[in-house]
Every structure is written in structure tokens, then in C-alpha cells.
Amino acid sequence: MNHLLSDLLEGMEFKLLAGRMDTVVTAVHYDSRNVQEGSLFVCIHGFIVDGHSFVPDVAGKKASVIVIQNDQTLFSEAELAEISSASNVTFIGVQDTRIGLAKVSASFFGHPANQLNLVGITGTKGKTTTTYMLHDIFVCAGKNTGLIGTVANIVSGEVRQASRTTPESYDLQMLLSEMVKNGDDSCIMEVSSQGLMLERVHGCSFSVCAFTNLYHDHIGEHEHKNMEEYLSAKTLIFDHSSCGVINADSPVSDQVIDYAKKRCPVFTYGLSEKCDCTASDIRKASRRGIAGSEIVLTSPWYKGKLFIALPGKFNVYNALCAIAISGICGIPFDAVKKSLARVSVPGRLQMIKNDINVTVLVDYAHNAASLEILLESLREDCKGRMITVFGCGGNRSKTRRTEMGEVSGRLSDLTIVTSDNPRNEEPADIINDILSGLIGTSGKHIVEPDRRKAIEYAISTAVADDFVIIAGKGHENYQIFRDRTIHFDDVEVATEVIEAISKKEKG
């Protein structure tokens, strides 16, 4: 795929610092290791490494073009001219190379976002579940639909492993381009605050964007400085949208609605009558062994009863968000009802089928807010004990560990503290941080650093009507230690344990 540099930069503000505009570009890269002859390389200011430091290396690989930020200080104009003369590379200066990468990538792939019905979901919680609900609804309605998110990317029905919630702009545009080439007409995607702050979706035009909620998360050195900055990043999604959908029951809804209404039409969802899309007469229900909720729906698009095949009030909210977006996009009500009655999300309240009369659930809840919402919601359905298995990741916030320990100790009858992804830390140190929050609560606990053994103990000690919640990793299928990474899937392990118990009991 060859492009003239002048065509790729059409409509952009830039400075030609050295070289020629009729240069041919064969590829676009932001990782210097991938650069080859003919490539256009964009220098990105990373949290740890400044991409401008790779200019000599990239020029030596015979790149055609190097895009730099106007305020970079590593090279003078004279030095850039010298490098250009020696290696025949063209230098382009832009105000913001992240925006530059997004625009060049979109141009390189022919602006695929403009050829799709693109739907974006942001918020601290609920993004993954809502995107899966919508993906299933759209497919049920006959739409050829892709998905981009935390658990996986789905391109024309092919499920691929995802490396981050919202891909870097070049990778995102490449995925969207593949969808278009393979006949997809729609795409549902999770849009993270980092993806918005780092301009990964710049240039994407969403037909509908939704805001689910805001909880304390992603505050740190390499994320957001505070909650105000976190919320500000989230609201940027409405700069790219033709229509907004907002959870009116969120404590920050007034701020979000005020921001969004200045940019696009807005519809709200929630449990109060003032919302455009709302649920009433919410009841716990079970169909064909699947626990969920029955609701009476009122909205501008649909009215009537439906079943949501995921338990908990928070999944009613996720469903309402998906319903509102479906209505705006003109999806038939039959497709909405059919899809929500069967929806399943990998690692999100994923039930492990069994014949031992114990409810075993795997969920991604990996901070205090998500764990608290999860356990409080499940308590309504649990007739026996709540047994919670979880650990915390290494090289992450220590406060998160203490908070999760307190939540589990307060809301669980038994907590089994184990390892998650220790990374470069000692598992025992992480466990001690968790225990500092757990000890002093009314909940009983044991410590089992081996995650497989912890899951085995939880399920084997459970009796009829108990709930076993395996939290923290969800869809992840690995464990990261200081010296190795191993395959580890909570769903697989729980299934194996249940099968072994069943075989022994029949035995």
C-alpha cells in the first residue's frame, strides 16, 4: 500500500522541515523496531521513552519520513537538515504527534471509521459487558458487526486477543480497515480514558457514544492525576459523537450531560422516571438455569417486558445503555429481547456450569469499587455463604489491595486470599497488604498463595446454595511472575475442579 506523503498529510497542519513532499510512503509505524525502508515513523512522547530519541536509528533504516513534534528539543533544525541530507529522509513537524499519528493512520487506511456505524462506550465499569450486549444485539439484527475491547477484538466473526482496551490509533485504524474490507458495516468499541487522553480515537466519528459511570480508578503516575482529570478525559468522547447516551443515575451525570449537550443530542438511561430509557418492576428471575433479571422497559423506541441473562442491578444498567443505543440505531425490538435473554460475557459474571448445586462465578472485578458492586449485587441472590477468592496485581497501587481486602472481609462470609499477577513483587508482600484491610472486618479468611489450590479449596469447601466468586482476572488466561509467565485461566481451573468433584461423588 503506497501513498504520496502529500496525500497522507492533506488537511493537516504541518511544517516541512527537510526533504520532499513527493516522497512515497509504504507503511506507518510508531515503534522504531518495526521501521523498514519506505516507512513513515511518528515520534511519540511516551511515559518512559521519548520516540524522538530514535530518529538516528530510524533514519539509518531508510525510513522515508519522520514526523516530529514542533516543541521537541533533541535536534536543532540544522541537525535535522544534516540527517535528511545524509539519509534522504523527509522531516515533518506537527503540533502534537499523537494527533499526527491518528490523522496519518486514518488517511493511510482510507478513513475506515467513516464507512462503519461506529458505537463507542466509555466509563469506569460496564464497558465490556455493554459492548458484548450490543455486539450480540446487532448480529441478531443481521448487522455484520465488529467489536474492539478489553477481552477481545472481533473482526468479521474472527475473535482475536486484545492487548489493550483501546488500541493505539494506527492499530485501531488497521482493525477498522480490516472490518470494512471483510464486509462489516458496524463496530462496537470500548473507549478508555487513556485512549481518549492519548488521542487514539482522534479522527473517528461515532454515530453514538455512551457514558456508563465513574468510580475511583486509574489514578496514578502513568494514568490520571486525579478524579477531575479522569472525568475530563471520559467526557472527551462526546467531541467525536453524533449522539450521546448517558447514565443519569451516576453522581457525575449533570457534569457529563452539560458537556455532551453542547456537542450533540443526548438521551439518558437509569431507574428514575425522568430518564428517557428506564426499567421498572425489576425482579430476579431464572430461565433454563440462567440467573438474571426481568424488567418492564419504557423508552422512546421500545416498551414491554424482557429478560436479562446476567444477574445484578448493575447489569440492568448495562442493558439499559445497550437498549438506548439499539433504539437510536434502529434495531428491531425482537433482536434486543432475544439477545439480552442469552447474552454471555467472558470473565464478566461468567457462570461455571455444574451439578454440585453451588453457584461458581468468574468475574474481572479487580478493584474495591467493582468488587463491592459485585458482592452486594450477588448477596441478594445468595441463600448460602459468599466465598470470595481474589488476589491483587504486583507493581500496582497498594491502596487498591487494602481497599479490596476491606470490601471482601465486610461482604464475604469467607475470603480466600491468593495471588493474581505478582509481576516483580513477592506474592507474600501483596497478600500482607490485602490482609491489612481485611483483618478487623467480620469476615473469616484463609491465605493460599497458589491460585489453583485456592480455587480448589473454595469450591471443595462450598455446600449447597453457597456462592463461590473467583475475582480479579476474569477473561485473562495467564499469570505473570517475576521470572515467568504461565497459562492460567480461572474458568478452566474452576471447570476442572468441578469435574473432579463430580467424578469423585459419582465414583
136-181 per-position pLDDT tens digit:
999 999 999 999 999 899 999 999 988 888 999 999 999 999 999 9
Query: Which DSSP symbol is given to 137?
Result: H
What letter represents residue 2's amino acid?
Answer: N
Asked whether 202 and 103 are in contact (CB, 8 A), the reply is yes
Final residue of a structural domain among 107, 130, 148: 107
| Same domain, residue pair 196 and 327 | yes
- All residues at 6 or more sequence positions from 325 whose CB lies less than 8 Å from its CB, including other chains: 119, 134, 208, 210, 245
| Same domain, residue pair 149 and 71 | no
Taking phi over 0 as left and psi of -120 to 50 as alpha, with beta for the rest, 157 belongs to left
pLDDT for res 224? 56
pLDDT above 70 as % of the chain: 98
Instruction: For residue 164, give the nearest of 155, 153, 174, 156 by alpha carbon.
Output: 153
Rounded-to-integer distance, Cα 226 and Cα 496, Å: 42
383-414 per-position pLDDT tens digit:
899 999 999 999 988 999 999 999 999 999 99
pLDDT above 90 as % of the chain: 81
Length of the chain: 507
- All residues at 6 or more sequence positions from 429 whose CB lies less than 8 Å from its CB, including other chains: none
What letter represents residue 354's amino acid?
Answer: N
| Same domain, residue pair 188 and 57 | no
Asked whether 319 and 342 are in contact (CB, 8 A), the reply is no
- All residues at 6 or more sequence positions from 301 whose CB lies less than 8 Å from its CB, including other chains: 277, 323, 324, 326, 327, 328, 333
Rounded to 10 deg, the angle between the 253-261 and 227-235 helix axes is 40
pLDDT for res 507? 64
pLDDT for res 247? 98
Hey, which residues does 206 pair with through a beta bridge?
Answer: 241
Rounded-to-integer distance, Cα 505 and Cα 44, Å: 59
| Same domain, residue pair 315 and 359 | no
For residues 122-133, average pLDDT: 94
* Cell numbers at 296, concatenated: 418492564
Parallel, antiparallel or unpaired: strands 117-122 and 186-190: parallel
Phi, psi of 316, rounded to the nearest 5 degrees? -65, -45
pLDDT for res 37? 96
| Same domain, residue pair 96 and 117 | no
* Domain assignment of residue 309, given as a range: 111-340
* Domain count along the chain: 3
| Same domain, residue pair 315 and 372 | no
Asked whether 302 and 340 are in contact (CB, 8 A), the reply is no
Query: Hey, how many other C-beta atoms are within 10 angstroms of the C-beta on 487?
Result: 8
Alpha carbon distances (Å) from 351 to 340, 344, 347: 16, 9, 9
For residues 75-80, average pLDDT: 94
| Same domain, residue pair 268 and 377 | no
Ranges 156-170, 297-311, 349-363, 404-418: which has the least confidence:
349-363
78: domain CATH number is 3.40.1390.10
Final residue of a structural domain among 340, 363, 395: 340
| Same domain, residue pair 91 and 151 | no
| Same domain, residue pair 88 and 123 | no
Quickly list DSSP for 47-68. SS-BGGGGHHHHHHTT-SEEEE
| Same domain, residue pair 373 and 414 | yes
Residue 345 covered by a domain: no
Pick the more confident residue, 159 or 287: 159
Residue 16: helix, strand or coil by DSSP? Answer: strand
Rounded-to-integer distance, Cα 124 and Cα 37, Å: 41
218-243 per-position pLDDT tens digit:
555 556 568 788 898 999 999 989 99
245: domain CATH number is 3.40.1190.10
- All residues at 6 or more sequence positions from 251 whose CB lies less than 8 Å from its CB, including other chains: 214
